[in-house]
Chain A
Amino acid sequence: MSKTIVINGKECAFDGNKTVLQIARDNGFYIPSLCYHPKLGPASKCRVCVVEVDGIRNLQTSCSLTATDGMIITTDSPRVLDAQRMVVNLLLANGNHNCMICERNGDCELQEAAYHLGIELPAFIVEEREDKDESGAFIVRDVNKCIQCGRCIEACNRLVVNEVLDFGFRGGHTQVVCDGNKPMGESTCVQCGECVQVCPVGALIEKKAIGKARSWEITKIRTTCPYCGVGCQQELHLKGDQIVRVKGVEGAKPNDGHLCVKGRYGYDFIYSKERLTTPLIKKNGKFEEATWDEALDLVADKFKQIIKESGPDAIACVSCARSTNEDSFYMQKLFRAAIGTNNIDHCART
C-alpha cells in the first residue's frame, strides 16, 4: 500500500522502504548532499542533507532517515538552511576550493550546494595546503579539495574490492591514503577510476582531461565500451569531436557506472595516425589499401580454395574477446553452418 510523507507542505506518495532524501529527489526537492551516493548508500557523515522532522528535536540526515507514513518534513526552514550553510561554509573554509580553475566547475556537488545555499565566499578561511599527488597514470589526487566524504573508499573496498584506498590519520588530519600512504602511482591501485567516478568534488580528477574542456562545453554521448564482450555502458564526454573523458553510466546494466582502466582511459587509440581505416592487402610483400569488397572476396576465395583442397577442418576460427556474445554466436554459426567445421575457439577461453 502506498504511503505518504509531507515535504514542505506537499504530499509525496511512496512505496516500500525509502529514505526521505530519495523521496525528496523523486519529487523534485533539492536537498544538498555530499557523502550520500545512490550506489554506496547513506553515510551520514557530511551532515549537509539535514531536514527538520515534526516531533524529533534534532535535525535529521535525510540520507539515512527511513520515511514512515505521515512523516512531516521541512527542508527549507531557517534552522535547516542555517545548519546546511554552516556545514558548506566549514568545508569551503578548509580547502582549496578554487572553482575558477577547477576541472569540476559546473559539475561539482559542493559548488552546487554552495550555489543553492547562497554562499558566495566562505565566511571564514583556514589556509592549509598540500601538494597534489600526480603520480597515478590517469588520476590526479588533490587532498586540498577532498571533503572526506569517503565515497572513493567505499567504492574501492566495497564495489571494486581492490582495497587500496582507506582513511588514514584522524580528526582534522584525516586523509584518504593509498596502501599505507604511498603515492597513488607507487601503490597497488590499478587506476580503474571508480573513485573518480563517485567523487563529488574536484579531489579526484582524470589527468588526461585537465585543461581540455569546461563542463558546459561538453556533449555527452552514451555508447557501449568496445573493449570486451561485457558491454559496459559508457558516457563519452566530447568537446567538438574529441573525447575529453569517459564516464560509466550510473544505474545502467551491466556495469552501473563501473569501468576498467582500459574502458575509462584507453580511448586515445581512436585518434592514432597508425590506426587502420581501410583493409590492406599484401601484394608483392607490401600492404596496399583495398576496398572491403576486394578484401572479403579475397578471404572468401582463399577459404573456398582451402576447403576444396584440404576439407573444412583445415580451417579454424578464434573469436576475439572484444566481441559481444552476439558476434561470437554469429562467428560459430558461420563456421559450423557455412564452412562446416567445429574448429571454434575464443581467445579468452583459458
Chain B
Amino acid sequence: MDASIKKIIARYPDEKSAIMPVMQHLQRENKNFLNEDAMEEAARVIGCSKSKVYGVATYYTMFNTQPVGKFHLQVDTCVPGFLHGADAIVAHLEKKLGIKSGETTKDGMFTLNRVQDLGSCATGPVIQVNDRYFENMTIAKTDALIEALKSGKEPENDPSMTVISKCGILLNDRTQKDCRTIAFYKKNGGYQSLKKALTMKPADIIEEVKEAGVRGRGGAGFPAGMKWSFLPKNDSRPVYLICNADEGEPGTFKDRQIMEFNPHLVIEGIAISAYAINSKKAFIYIRGEFNWIADILDAAIEEAKKDGQLANVDIVVHRGGGSYVCGDETAQIESLEGKRGNPRVKPPFPANSGLYGCPTVVNNVETLSSIPFIIQNGAAGYKKFGNTNNFGPKIFGVSGHVNKPGIFEYPMGTPLKEILEASGGVKGKLKGVIVGGLSVAILTAQEAENLILDFDSCVKAGTALGSGGIMVVNDTVSIPELALRTIEFYHHESCGQCVPCREGSLVIEHKLHDLVHGKGKMEDIDLILHLTANIKGLTLCPTGEAFAVPIQAMVSKFRPEFEALVKR
C-alpha cells in the first residue's frame, strides 16, 4: 500500500473513516478525476464493497466520477451568489468558453459548473477553480482570471470585505501578516485559558460553560453546557469531540473567519472542551471546499503540538466532500465513519451513541471558540455581552444588497438596524431580510424594522436567528425567483433518504419552476403551501423543515407576486 494512504488510514480509529480522504487523495493524483480504477483501489485498501465506495463517491459533490477539465470552474449561484450577480458571471463564462454549464471545452482546459453555496456570501460572486476560491468577481476580473489560467499564471484572489469586531473575542486582527501563528496568538494571551482549564476539575468547566448559557452557534441554539452534561457517567467507551466546521447554510460564512485567521482560538477551545468531557480524540469536520483553511488548521495543530499544548488530545482535521446535510450532527457522524451523509434516526442521541457507537459531542466552531474566553473571564464575563438567555458575542455575516457586505462580531441582541448600518446600509429599497441563513423565514422590510438579533427575539418575530447569516434583499428581486433558488438548493442537497424531503423538494421545485417560467397554475401555489405545511416536522432530519419554512414564508408573505406570474 502507498505510504501516503497508510498515513491517512492511521489517523483514524477505524479505517472505514479514511474512505473520503483516501478518495480525495486518489482523485488529486489522477487529474481531479475519480475513475473506476481509483474507486476499486479505495475499496481494496479500505476493505469494503465497490458499491459502498461508489455510493460514497456519488453522494458527495466534490468527487468527480466523470472527467473534468484542467481547470474546474464552479460558480456559486445559490441565493447569496444570485443576489451578488453570479448569473451574469455564468452567462459570460458560457459565452467566453463556448460551452454550457456542465460541459468541458474541447481542448480539455475548462469545465464549467454552477454550484450550490461555497460559503463566500459577502464576497460573491465567487468562482472556485479546482480547490481555490476567486472572490468578488466581476466580468473584467473573470476575463483576467481565464487569461491568467490559460497562460499558466497564478491568479490573485481578492477576498476583501468589511470586517468589524466590536467584541474582539472571536475575530482577531487579520491585517497582521502573522495573525495565524501561535506566536501571535500567545502574544495576545492565547493558550492561557487552556493552562488555567487544566488546573480545574472537568466538572467545574462544564458548570462554568452551563452557567455562561452558551447557546450553540451552529443554528439550533441548544445550550452547549447542557449538551456536554448528557454524556453518560462512568462509561468505559472513549468519548469523541467533533468540531462542526461544515458551514454550508447559504448566507453563512462565519466559522471560516475564525478558522482561517484565528485558528489557534478554535484549537484552544477544542483542547479545553475535550479536557472537560474527557475526550482524547477530537475531529474538526470541515467542508471540503475550504481545503486551504483545512491546511491552515493542520499547520496550526502541528504548531500547537510542538508547543506542547495538545498533550491531552489528538485533533484530526477531516475534510468533507460537498454536502450540506453533513452539517447535521448525526449525518456528520455517519460521514466521518466513511459513509453517505444520511442523518440517523434519533434516539439514540450522539451523547449516548455517536461516532463508532461511542459517546460523542458535536459543537460548532463558533461555540467552541467562545470557550477560552469563558474560562478566562468566567461565565459572568461572557454574560456581559447580550441579553437574558441570549448571551455572548455573535458573528453575523451580511450578504446581498448592502453597500459593504462583510462580517460583524457584535454582542448577541444587537438590533438588525445597527448591523445593516455597519454594513454600509441597504443598497436600494429594502424588500426583505433573511436573518439566520437560508432555512429561516424571510421577514418583510416592515417586520425587520425593529428586529433584535438574538435567538428568542427572532422566534418572537416569526423567524430564527439560525447561524446569523443575514441576506438582504432589495426590491429588484423577484421573490418567486428567490424561492426557486431556495428550493433548488435544498433539492440538490437533500440526502434522498426520506420521502417528504426527497420527493417534496422535487415537486416544489417543479412547481416553482413552472410559475417562474409562466407555466404555472393558481392551484400550484396552494399545492406548494399544502406540501410545506405537511413536510414541516415530518422528515427524518431538520432538512425538510429547512426548506418548508422559508418557502412557506416566501409564498405566503409575497403571494401576489406568485399569483401575478400565473397567466389568466
Asked if B367 is at the interface of the complex by the 8 Å CB criterion, the answer is no
Q: Cβ of B51 and Cβ of A171 under 8 Å apart? A: no
Asked if A44 is at the interface of the complex by the 8 Å CB criterion, the answer is yes
Q: Cβ of B51 and Cβ of A94 under 8 Å apart? A: no
Whole-angstrom CA separation of A87 from B538 in the bound complex: 10
**A91 in contact with B500 given A47-B539, A170-B494, A179-B51 (CB within 8 Å):** no
Choose the segment among A158-166, A217-225, A248-256 that binds chain B (4+ C-beta atoms closer than 8 Å).
Answer: A158-166
B322 CB to nearest A CB, Å: 10
Which residues of chain A come closer than 8 Å to B493, judged between CB atoms?
A: 171
Which residues of chain A come closer than 8 Å to B537, judged between CB atoms?
A: 57-59
Residue from the list B40, B506, B538 in contact with A126, Cβ < 8 A:
B506
**A44 in contact with B345 given A177-B55, A180-B51 (CB within 8 Å):** yes
Q: Cβ of B527 and Cβ of A124 under 8 Å apart? A: yes
Which residues of chain A come closer than 8 Å to B565, judged between CB atoms?
A: none
Asked if A86 is at the interface of the complex by the 8 Å CB criterion, the answer is yes
Asked if B52 is at the interface of the complex by the 8 Å CB criterion, the answer is yes
**A59 in contact with B538 given A47-B500, A163-B49, A177-B51 (CB within 8 Å):** yes
CB-based nearest A residue for B43: A180
Asked if B262 is at the interface of the complex by the 8 Å CB criterion, the answer is no
Asked if B64 is at the interface of the complex by the 8 Å CB criterion, the answer is no
Q: Cβ of A172 and Cβ of B498 under 8 Å apart? A: no
Q: Cβ of B39 and Cβ of A126 under 8 Å apart? A: no
Whole-angstrom CA separation of A50 from B61 in the bound complex: 32
Residue from the list A46, A167, A169 in contact with B499, Cβ < 8 A:
A46
**A124 in contact with B494 given A46-B499, A64-B345, A86-B500 (CB within 8 Å):** no
Whole-angstrom CA separation of A180 from B48 in the bound complex: 12
Asked if B404 is at the interface of the complex by the 8 Å CB criterion, the answer is no
Asked if B450 is at the interface of the complex by the 8 Å CB criterion, the answer is no
Which residues of chain A come closer than 8 Å to B510, judged between CB atoms?
A: 126
Q: How many residues on B have C-beta within 8 angstroms of the other chain's C-beta atoms?
A: 45
Asked if A322 is at the interface of the complex by the 8 Å CB criterion, the answer is no
Asked if A210 is at the interface of the complex by the 8 Å CB criterion, the answer is no
**A93 in contact with B502 given A59-B538, A171-B493 (CB within 8 Å):** no
Q: Mark B492-513, 1 if CB is under 8 A from A, else 0.
A: 1111111110111111001100
Which residues of chain A come closer than 8 Å to B97, judged between CB atoms?
A: none
Q: Cβ of B507 and Cβ of A90 under 8 Å apart? A: yes
Asked if A45 is at the interface of the complex by the 8 Å CB criterion, the answer is yes
Asked if B377 is at the interface of the complex by the 8 Å CB criterion, the answer is no
B484 CB to nearest A CB, Å: 15
Asked if B287 is at the interface of the complex by the 8 Å CB criterion, the answer is no
Which residues of chain A come closer than 8 Å to B59, judged between CB atoms?
A: 167-170
Q: Cβ of B527 and Cβ of A123 under 8 Å apart? A: yes
Residue from the list A90, A126, A166 in contact with B51, Cβ < 8 A:
A166
Asked if A147 is at the interface of the complex by the 8 Å CB criterion, the answer is yes
Q: Cβ of B36 and Cβ of A94 under 8 Å apart? A: no
**Interface set, chain A 119-170, CB cutoff 8 A to B:** 123-124, 126, 147-148, 157, 163-170
Which residues of chain A come closer than 8 Å to B60, judged between CB atoms?
A: 170
Q: Cβ of A45 and Cβ of B507 under 8 Å apart? A: no
B56 CB to nearest A CB, Å: 9
Q: Cβ of A45 and Cβ of B540 under 8 Å apart? A: yes
CB-based nearest A residue for B524: A124
**A168 in contact with B58 given A44-B540, A163-B52, A180-B53 (CB within 8 Å):** yes
Q: Cβ of A45 and Cβ of B497 under 8 Å apart? A: yes
Residue from the list A43, A83, A163, A171 in contact with B491, Cβ < 8 A:
A171
Q: Cβ of B492 and Cβ of A171 under 8 Å apart? A: yes
Asked if B318 is at the interface of the complex by the 8 Å CB criterion, the answer is no
Which residues of chain B come closer than 8 Å to A59, judged between CB atoms?
A: 537-538
Q: Cβ of A94 and Cβ of B503 under 8 Å apart? A: yes
A242 CB to nearest B CB, Å: 36
Whole-angstrom CA separation of A170 from B539 in the bound complex: 16
Asked if A308 is at the interface of the complex by the 8 Å CB criterion, the answer is no
Which residues of chain B come closer than 8 Å to A82, judged between CB atoms?
A: 534
Q: Cβ of A45 and Cβ of B58 under 8 Å apart? A: no
Which residues of chain B come closer than 8 Å to A48, judged between CB atoms?
A: 499
B105 CB to nearest A CB, Å: 25
**A91 in contact with B499 given A50-B538, A59-B538 (CB within 8 Å):** yes
Whole-angstrom CA separation of A169 from B56 in the bound complex: 8
Q: Cβ of B499 and Cβ of A47 under 8 Å apart? A: yes
B116 CB to nearest A CB, Å: 11
Q: Cβ of B51 and Cβ of A174 under 8 Å apart? A: no
Residue from the list B51, B61, B505 in contact with A172, Cβ < 8 A:
B505
Whole-angstrom CA separation of A234 from B527 in the bound complex: 46
Q: Cβ of A164 and Cβ of B58 under 8 Å apart? A: no
Whole-angstrom CA separation of A58 from B500 in the bound complex: 14
Asked if A42 is at the interface of the complex by the 8 Å CB criterion, the answer is yes
B182 CB to nearest A CB, Å: 39
Whole-angstrom CA separation of A173 from B530 in the bound complex: 24
**A171 in contact with B502 given A45-B540, A50-B538 (CB within 8 Å):** yes
Q: Cβ of B540 and Cβ of A47 under 8 Å apart? A: yes
Which residues of chain B come closer than 8 Å to A178, judged between CB atoms?
A: 51
Q: Cβ of A86 and Cβ of B534 under 8 Å apart? A: yes
Asked if A181 is at the interface of the complex by the 8 Å CB criterion, the answer is yes
Q: B40, B49, B530 — which one has the most chain A CB atoms within 10 A of its CB? A: B49
**Interface set, chain B 321-347, CB cutoff 8 A to A:** 323, 340, 345
Asked if B417 is at the interface of the complex by the 8 Å CB criterion, the answer is no
Whole-angstrom CA separation of A83 from B492 in the bound complex: 23
Q: Cβ of A90 and Cβ of B49 under 8 Å apart? A: no
Q: Cβ of A126 and Cβ of B492 under 8 Å apart? A: no
**Interface set, chain B 48-72, CB cutoff 8 A to A:** 48-55, 58-61
Asked if B529 is at the interface of the complex by the 8 Å CB criterion, the answer is no
Whole-angstrom CA separation of A87 from B40 in the bound complex: 37
Which residues of chain B come closer than 8 Å to A90, judged between CB atoms?
A: 499-500, 503-504, 507
**A168 in contact with B54 given A47-B539, A83-B538, A86-B534 (CB within 8 Å):** yes
**Interface set, chain B 499-548, CB cutoff 8 A to A:** 499-500, 502-507, 510-511, 527, 530-531, 534-535, 537-540
CB-based nearest B residue for A46: B499
CB-based nearest A residue for B39: A180
Q: Cβ of B58 and Cβ of A170 under 8 Å apart? A: yes
CB-based nearest B residue for A88: B499
**A91 in contact with B503 given A42-B345, A177-B54 (CB within 8 Å):** yes
**A167 in contact with B340 given A177-B55, A180-B36 (CB within 8 Å):** yes
B448 CB to nearest A CB, Å: 28
B349 CB to nearest A CB, Å: 14
B205 CB to nearest A CB, Å: 33
CB-based nearest B residue for A50: B538
CB-based nearest B residue for A42: B345
B154 CB to nearest A CB, Å: 34
Known A42-B345, A59-B538, A86-B504; further 20 A-B contacts with Cβ < 8 A: A43-B345, A46-B498, A46-B499, A47-B498, A48-B499, A58-B538, A64-B345, A87-B538, A91-B499, A94-B503, A163-B48, A167-B496, A168-B51, A168-B54, A168-B55, A169-B59, A177-B51, A179-B49, A179-B51, A180-B40
Give the 8 A-B residue pairs with the shortest CB-CB distance, closest first: A174-B496, A166-B51, A163-B49, A180-B54, A90-B503, A171-B494, A58-B537, A166-B55
Interface residues of A (CB under 8 A from B): 42-48, 50, 57-59, 61, 64, 82-83, 86-87, 90-91, 93-94, 123-124, 126, 147-148, 157, 163-174, 177-181
A-B contact pairs, 5 of them (CB 8 A): A87-B499, A93-B503, A172-B491, A172-B506, A178-B51
